[in-house]
Structure 1
Amino acid sequence: MTITVHPEAKALIFDLDGTLSNSLPVHLETWKIVAKKYNFDFDPNIIHEMTGRPTIEFAKRIVEQYKVDEQPEILVRMKQQAFWDAAHLLEPIEEVISIVKSYHGKLPMSVGTGASGKSAEVQLKELGIRDYFDFVISADDVQKHKPHPETFVKCAELMGVEPQLCQVFEDGDLGISAAKEAGMFVTDVREHIVYGDWELTANK
């Protein structure tokens, strides 16, 4: 089954990690770098459960779960730097990016992500797709993160389109909940694409 655009959609909003960018394996490996330094075994299910949340919340979860004697902000800096250094390993999710390219210039498009502004820009530029989007709303741009709908509502506002006429493409449960709460059309891209062995491991 191919990914389609809803016939009533007047604007498109895309999550980033796991939707446009097959970044989850890179996130996993860079969290393992942090885990090695602080002597704990990182559980990949944390990524699966918290996809869409800002990195600081991952770090707080890790400090609490693994009793790490470090400030979460320090873990965030280490993790983000490792991720930026590994950006060349990112791969595009072509099934979703084909939608972006097909509708560029036809419908307004934006990215609504739980990643930091810098991480979002690094990924979009590395994948060569930054110029396809009118707006990028990151974790830095909102007060309430997914599953709160603020990220997607802000995208709609900037594009000048009513929320109920926006279609969101997402891979995370939290983001899907946010899009539904905003009253938007929602496409769960996990039903249409194959991520490879990582997804099988993360969902066990």
Structure 2
Amino acid sequence: MLLPLPPGDFQAYLFDCDGTITDSMPVHYQAWQQALAGWACDFPEDLFYAWGGRPAADIIVDLNERHGLAMPVATVNEHRESLFQSGLATVEAVPGVLEHIEEAFGRVPFAVVSGSTRESVTASLTALGLLDRFPVLVCAEDYARPKPDPEGYLSAARQLGVDPARCLVFEDTELGVRAAEAAGMAFVRVPPPWDR
């Protein structure tokens, strides 16, 4: 079933990736739990979802501060990413969002704006057979200020040559919605797995 869209004549659709296009948040959370287990680092599920959209390296830095740990950020992040990619075979597209991608592809240009790395986004979209739908990928390494800063969304609009006010954002996290609003873009809030 298609998610309802706000009124407007939109000339581009900008999508977050994890939890928006790909129903990958449960797989991400499992990868986090496995990667942090050796450090006895507690990362509750409600905090994981509250921090959705943040770059993984920033999360590890904050977990170190919260728990008085000295986890090596790059090492833990690489391990987490490897665990996530090994679980990609179980990931499916988010219902309601996939239908919009199929309905609008070729009529409206698309971009992905994600707090995940290009490697992670590319692997996720490839696993679903959707990578070719997104000519523009704006990933964690492509902007300095993560969501809720609008930088990533404004960069995607620029690359597509579309006025930000004519872009529609699909987002599952509060940080992402705030980034879309700060960019002057309309948005569709994608419900979490337990509300679908």
Task: Give TM-score scaled by structure 1 length.
Answer: 0.90
Q: Equivalent residue for 2:101?
A: 100
Letter in 1 for 2:119: K
Preserved CA contact (<8 Å) 1:112 1:152: yes
Q: CA deviation at 1:24?
A: 0.8
Preserved CA contact (<8 Å) 2:165 2:186: yes
Q: CA deviation at 1:94?
A: 2.2
Residue 193 of structure 2, aligned match among 192, 195, 198: 195
| Residues 1:139 and 2:163 are matched in the alignment | no
Alpha-carbon distance between aligned partners in 2 of 1:84 and 1:26, rounded to the nearest angstrom = 9
Preserved CA contact (<8 Å) 1:63 1:72: no
Q: Following TM superposition, where does structure 1 have runs of at least 4 consecutive aligned residues deviating by more than 6 angstroms? A: none
Q: Equivalent residue for 1:25?
A: 26
Q: Equivalent residue for 2:154?
A: 153
Tell me, which stretches of 5 or more residues in structure 2 are unaligned? Answer: none
Alpha-carbon distance between aligned partners in 2 of 1:40 and 1:70, rounded to the nearest angstrom = 9
Preserved CA contact (<8 Å) 2:118 2:139: yes
Preserved CA contact (<8 Å) 2:36 2:76: no
- The alignment partner of 1:22 has SS state of coil
Identity %: 28
Letter in 1 for 2:193: Y
Preserved CA contact (<8 Å) 2:13 2:167: yes
| Residues 1:169 and 2:170 are matched in the alignment | yes
Letter in 2 for 1:26: V
Q: Equivalent residue for 2:3?
A: 3
Q: Equivalent residue for 1:81?
A: 82
Letter in 2 for 1:186: F
- The alignment partner of 2:97 has SS state of helix
Q: CA deviation at 1:2?
A: 4.1
Alpha-carbon distance between aligned partners in 2 of 1:138 and 1:158, rounded to the nearest angstrom = 13
**1:9-54 superposed Cα distances (whole Å, 9 cap, x missing partner):** 1110011111111111111111111221112332112221111111
Q: CA deviation at 1:60?
A: 0.9
Letter in 1 for 2:3: I
Letter in 2 for 1:138: C
**Equivalent pairs, count:** 195
Preserved CA contact (<8 Å) 2:2 2:99: no
Tell me, which stretches of 5 or more residues in structure 1 are unaligned? Answer: none
Letter in 1 for 2:139: S
- The alignment partner of 2:193 has SS state of coil
- The alignment partner of 1:38 has SS state of coil
Alpha-carbon distance between aligned partners in 1 of 2:159 and 2:74, rounded to the nearest angstrom = 30
Greater shift, 92-101 or 5-14, is seen at 5-14
Alpha-carbon distance between aligned partners in 2 of 1:72 and 1:65, rounded to the nearest angstrom = 14
**1:97-149 superposed Cα distances (whole Å, 9 cap, x missing partner):** 11011100001111111000100000000011111112111001111110000
Structure 2 vs 1, CA of residues 154 and 182 (structure 1 numbering), >3 Å: closer, same or farther?
Answer: same
Alpha-carbon distance between aligned partners in 2 of 1:165 and 1:49, rounded to the nearest angstrom = 28
Letter in 1 for 2:107: K
Alpha-carbon distance between aligned partners in 2 of 1:153 and 1:138, rounded to the nearest angstrom = 13
